[in-house]
Structure 1
Amino acid sequence: MSEEESEHEEAEEIEAENKSENDGEEEGKSEHSEEEAEEEVREEVPLTDEIIAQSLSLLAKTGNGLAHAYTRLEASNRNLTDITRLEPFIHLRFIDLSNNRLRIINSLNRLKFLLTLKLDSNELSTFDLPPFPYLQTLCLSNNRLRSIVGIAQPRLETLNLNHNQIDSCTGLEQSKLPNLITLEMRENRLTTTKNIALPNLKNLFIAANNITQLEDLHELNRLTTLHLRDNKVEILDGFSENMKHLQYVNLRANNITDPEELKKLAVLPMLRALVLLETPLSETDSYRMEVLVALDKLERLDKDQFNEDEKHDALEEQKRRAEEQRETTADDSSKQEGAPEEEQ
C-alpha cells in the first residue's frame, strides 16, 4: 500500500531499534524514581527576559489588527524549571519548551491563542491546563505522566504521549477530545485498549506496551492505521465491521500463533496491509499462504506485495478447503440420518 504505509513501517523500525536500547525500561524508571527521591536540592532555573528575547520570533498582527506581537517561542534545552515570566505573552501561538525540567506549567493558562504546545522531555506528572480554544498539537512525550485524566482539548488533532507511565486509556473519550486524529502512546504501561472512545481518530500508535487484550475498537470507526507492534497480543478479538476505514495493521513481535485468529480480521473491508513479522506464526512454512487464504483482499504482508502466483495458489487452496468442508458436512449429515434411534 502506498508511500504513507512505508513511512509508518520505517517509523516502527526506528521504534524497535530504540526499544532494544531500552530493554531495562522498568528498571530505568525505578532508578528515575529513586533519583527523584534522593534529590536534596533542586537548582531552580527561571525563564528570564534575556532567554525570552532570544527565543521569540514570528511577528504577526494581533486579533484586532491594530498591533503586532510575537507568536512563536522556542526555548528548548534550557534546563528551565520556572516559566512564570511567560504569563503576559498572551498572543503566543507556537511554544516549544521541550528538554527542560518543568514540573509546573500553569503559567500557560492564559495563552488562549495557542495552536501548538511542545513539552516533551520534562518532568510533568500531571497535565492540568484548561481547554484552549484553538490548540491543535500537544506533545508530552518523555514525561512522568501516569494518567490521561485532565487532557481535554476541543480542537486537538495530534496528541503525543509516548514514553510515559500511563497504564489506562481512561479519559480518551469524545467529550474531551472530539477532534483527535492522531494519538501516540508508545512505550507506556497499557495492558488493554479498553476505554478508547474516539470516533474521529485515524491513526493510533500504541507499540511497545504490555497489551494482551484488544477492547472497544468498535468505537474507532474512522481509524485507518493501527500500530500494535511489540505487545503481547495472542487473540485477535475486538476488531469490528464498524471499522470500515482500517487499511494498515502492524502486529509485529506479538504472540500470534494460530492462523485461525487471522479470520477475525476478515471483518475489516479495507484492510490491505498487515505486518506479522517476529510472531510465532511468521516462522511457519506456509505462513504467507495461510495469511492470504484467511484474508484474500490483502495486498501486502510485512514488506512484500503478494504476487499473482501467490494469489492464484491461495484461491485454489480456498476452493480445496471449501470443498473438503462440504464433503465433511455431507458425511456427518449422512451418519446422523442413518443412526438408529436410541432405545427408550
Structure 2
Amino acid sequence: MSDEEFDDESDANELEKEGEDGEEEKESAEQEEERLISNPLTEEIMKEGLSLLCKTGNGLAHAYVKLEAKEKDLTDIGLLQNYIHLRYVDLSENQLRDLSPLGSLIHLLWLKVDGNRLTSATLQELPYLQIASFAHNHIKDTEGISHPRLGSLNLKGNKIQVISGLDPGKLANLHTLELRGNKIETTAGLHLPKLKNLYLAQNSISRLEGLQDLVQLTTLHLRDNQLVTLDGFSSNMKCLQYLNLRGNGITGLQEVAKLQVLPMLRALVLLDNPCADEGDYRLEILVLLSHLERLDKDFYEQEERMEAEELRQHRQEEEQDTEESGPGEPN
C-alpha cells in the first residue's frame, strides 16, 4: 500500500471515528436527559432522608416531619403528596422543575429548594409556611407567592428582572426579602409595609422607586448596582438604620444630602463610589448627616463629631449672613 493510500485510509478511519464520537456524545446527552426525566423520588430515598419524629397535628399519632433529600438528581417529587405531615423539607441541588406536589404539605413550615431548575416560585398557598428559599434557580419573576405566614423569602441568584405580584395582603408577615444577584433594574413593585430587611445587591438597579411603602424597613442593601443619584428615598422610611450603597456610581456629596429624609439612619456604606474619593469625605458626610454613627467600616469618634458640628454651624452662619446682606448689595 502506498503512503498516499495509507493516508487516505487513515483519514477515512479518523472521520468514521469522529462520526462515532459525535453519535456517542449525542447518545450520551440523550441518555443524560432521559436519566433526568426518569429519576423520581422513591420510598428508599424517603427512608434515608426522614427524621424528627413528632406528634401529628391532631396529637393522636406520630410521624416524621423532616425530610432532607439533597443532591439526588431528583426530577419528580410526586411521592411527597403522601407525606402530609412534613414540616421541614430540603430538596436542594436536584433537577426539579415542578413543585406542585408540595401543595399537599399543608403543615409545611420550612422549605429549601436551592439549586434546581425552577423557572417559577409559584406554589399553592401554604398556610403555615414561614421560611422559603429558592436561591440559584432560573426563576424569572416574583409572581405566585402568597403564603400568609411567610416571614423570610430567598430568591437570590435567579433571573428576575421586574418585581411584581408581591401582594401585601397575602404576605402580611414577610419581614426579610433576599433578591441579591438577579437582573432587577428598579425597586418598583415593593409594596410591603411589614418588610424589615431587603437585600438587592448585585443587580442592575439604576432607579429607586416605590420605597415610600417600606415604612418598617430597617436594613437596605444596594451594593454593586448602577445608581448615580439617590432620588427615591422617602421620609416615610422612618425606621431605616442601615444602608449599604457600596460599589455604585454616586459622584457628588449633594446626592448624599438626599439621605437627610431618613431620620433613623445610623450606618452608611459608600465605599467604591466616586464621592468617597473627595477630600474630607468622612467629615463632609457627618456635616450632612449629623445622626450618623458609622460610615463604611468605622464609627465616628467624638472629635470628628465636634469638628463636624463646628463646621455645620459656621456654614449656617455664613448662609444667614448672605441672606441678610441680600444678593444685590455690594461688599
TM over 0.5: yes
Aligned match of 2:210? 216
> Residues 11-50 of structure 1 correspond to what in structure 2 (within 5 A)?
40-41=30-31, 42=33, 43=35, 44-50=38-44
Aligned match of 1:106? 100
Aligned match of 2:249? 255
Q: Deviations over 1:259-305 (max 9, x none)?
A: 01112111111110000011101111211011001001100001101
Amino acid at match of 1:165: K
Residue 91 of structure 2 is aligned to residue 97 of structure 1: yes
Q: Deviations over 1:118-168 (max 9, x none)?
A: 000000011232110100001000000001111111110000000000001
Shift of residue 39 of structure 1? 6.0
Aligned match of 1:12? none
1:105 to 1:39, Cα distance in 2 relative to 1, 3 A: farther
C-alpha distance in structure 2 between counterparts of 1:39 and 1:184, whole Å: 35
Where 1:59 maps in the other structure, the secondary structure is strand
C-alpha distance in structure 1 between counterparts of 2:48 and 2:60, whole Å: 25
Kept after mapping to 2: 8 A contact 1:135/1:155: yes
Kept after mapping to 1: 8 A contact 2:50/2:68: yes
Q: TM-score, normalised by structure 2?
A: 0.88
Picking from 55, 74, 80, the partner of 1:86 is 80
C-alpha distance in structure 2 between counterparts of 1:72 and 1:311, whole Å: 53
Aligned match of 1:295? 289
* Residues paired across the two proteins, number: 299
C-alpha distance in structure 2 between counterparts of 1:172 and 1:232, whole Å: 24
Q: Deviations over 1:24-69 (max 9, x none)?
A: xxxxxxxxxxxxxx96451132111111000000111112211111
Aligned match of 2:302? 308
Kept after mapping to 2: 8 A contact 1:173/1:195: no
Picking from 191, 196, 206, the partner of 1:202 is 196
Amino acid at match of 2:181: E
Aligned match of 2:313? 319
C-alpha distance in structure 2 between counterparts of 1:264 and 1:310, whole Å: 22
Picking from 222, 234, 238, the partner of 2:232 is 238
Residue 250 of structure 2 is aligned to residue 266 of structure 1: no
Aligned match of 1:279? 273
Kept after mapping to 2: 8 A contact 1:124/1:145: yes
C-alpha distance in structure 1 between counterparts of 2:48 and 2:189, whole Å: 43
Shift of residue 195 of structure 1? 1.2
> Residues 64-79 of structure 1 correspond to what in structure 2 (within 5 A)?
64-79=58-73
Shift of residue 328 of structure 1? 2.2
Q: Deviations over 1:217-238 (max 9, x none)?
A: 1100000000000011111111
C-alpha distance in structure 1 between counterparts of 2:292 and 2:102, whole Å: 47
Shift of residue 108 of structure 1? 1.2
Where 1:117 maps in the other structure, the secondary structure is strand
Amino acid at match of 2:229: I
C-alpha distance in structure 1 between counterparts of 2:287 and 2:29, whole Å: 59
C-alpha distance in structure 2 between counterparts of 1:248 and 1:158, whole Å: 19
Aligned match of 1:31? none
Shift of residue 334 of structure 1? 5.2
Aligned match of 2:176? 182
C-alpha distance in structure 2 between counterparts of 1:278 and 1:220, whole Å: 26
Where 1:60 maps in the other structure, the secondary structure is strand
Aligned match of 2:161? 167
Aligned match of 2:9? none
Residue 136 of structure 2 is aligned to residue 142 of structure 1: yes
C-alpha distance in structure 1 between counterparts of 2:157 and 2:65, whole Å: 29
Shift of residue 333 of structure 1? 5.0
C-alpha distance in structure 2 between counterparts of 1:253 and 1:81, whole Å: 39
Amino acid at match of 1:300: R
C-alpha distance in structure 1 between counterparts of 2:151 and 2:29, whole Å: 37
C-alpha distance in structure 1 between counterparts of 2:210 and 2:29, whole Å: 41
Where 2:156 maps in the other structure, the secondary structure is coil
Q: Deviations over 1:199-231 (max 9, x none)?
A: 000000000000011111110000000000001
Where 2:190 maps in the other structure, the secondary structure is coil
C-alpha distance in structure 2 between counterparts of 1:215 and 1:155, whole Å: 26
Amino acid at match of 2:197: N
C-alpha distance in structure 1 between counterparts of 2:29 and 2:88, whole Å: 32
Kept after mapping to 1: 8 A contact 2:152/2:176: yes
Q: Which runs of 4+ in 1 moved over 3 A?
A: 38-41
Identity %: 50
C-alpha distance in structure 1 between counterparts of 2:166 and 2:178, whole Å: 12
Larger Rg: 2
Kept after mapping to 1: 8 A contact 2:222/2:244: yes
C-alpha distance in structure 1 between counterparts of 2:216 and 2:152, whole Å: 15
Aligned match of 1:157? 151
Where 2:82 maps in the other structure, the secondary structure is coil
